[in-house]
Amino acid sequence: MDDAVLKDLVEEELEWEPSVDATDIGVGVEDGVVTLMGYVSSFTQKMAAERAVSRVKGVRAIAQELEVRFAGMDTEADDRIAKRALDVLDWDVAIPSGAIKVKVQNGHVTLSGEVDWRYQANRARDKIDGLPGVKAVSNLIQIKPKVSGKDVKEQIEQALKRDAELEAKTIRVSVQDGKVTLEGNVHTWHDREVAEQAAWAAPGVQDVIDRIRIS
């Protein structure tokens, strides 16, 4: 696909995405590699913009250079961000009390600790990335392994087969020590993202290595 055409498609997708204010987002395209430049008002918007671009057919890779700027407010002190983060996590009954540690440096939050399920780690990240003053979130939370690699592999394969959007037979799954490797071919970035989400949803998964190609 021509880079100019792809650029127009990416810009249209960003304008279409309701969770993204694309006013201050610039788009550059070279050989199918999309670069996002400019700034947005929250980390949530930054990630939503990346997801929107990944859905566009013809996108081979994304270079994320968006900056998070908080309009109409001063930079929050790290200690206040840390206190808010801990309060939010403590109030959420789905997240084990005291299981997650929070570190904040210049608005960048690092989450660590151990939980039983991947959704708990993702939920913690989602709770934090919308807080005032948070510029980025590094999710280093580990998942406690509870099932065998064979069981994890079978659960992921079944989840892929259930998804009507995917051709499960084109995706290969391997599991070792809680790390899942996905290989094979899919048609779009969206399909690749769906497959990766299915892998993360399996109990005991600590890491997902996505080697799926877009064809």
Please report the domains of the chain, with CATH numbers, ordered by start residue.
3-68 (3.30.1340.30), 78-143 (3.30.1340.30), 149-214 (3.30.1340.30)
- When pLDDT is averaged across residues 111-140 and rounded to a whole number, the result is 86
Q: pLDDT grade, residue 176 (50/70/90)?
A: confident
Q: How far is Cα 117 from Cα 125, in angstroms, rounded to an integer?
A: 13
What is the reported pLDDT for 190? 85
Is pLDDT of 73 > 60? no
Mind listing the pLDDT tens digit for each residue in 85-121?
998 888 888 888 888 999 888 888 999 998 888 888 8
Q: How far is Cα 145 from Cα 111, in angstroms, rounded to an integer?
A: 19
What is the reported pLDDT for 118? 80
What is the reported pLDDT for 164? 63
Q: Tell me how far apart the terminal alpha carbons of the chain are, to the nearest angstrom.
A: 13
Quote the percentage of the chain above a pLDDT of 70: 93
Is pLDDT of 166 > 60? yes
Is pLDDT of 79 > 80? yes
Contacts of 43-51 with C-beta under 8 Å, sequence gap 24+, read: 43/68, 43/129, 43/130, 43/134, 43/135, 43/136, 43/137, 44/19, 44/129, 44/130, 45/19, 45/20, 45/21, 47/129, 48/17, 48/19, 48/20, 49/14, 49/17, 49/20, 49/22, 49/25, 51/193
Q: How far is Cα 157 from Cα 135, in angstroms, rounded to an integer?
A: 36
Task: Please tell me whether residue 203 adopts helix, strand or coil conformation.
Answer: coil
Q: What is the pTM of this model?
A: 0.43
What is the reported pLDDT for 101? 92
Write down the mean pLDDT value for the chain: 84
Q: Between these two residues, 145 and 28, which has the higher pLDDT value?
A: 28
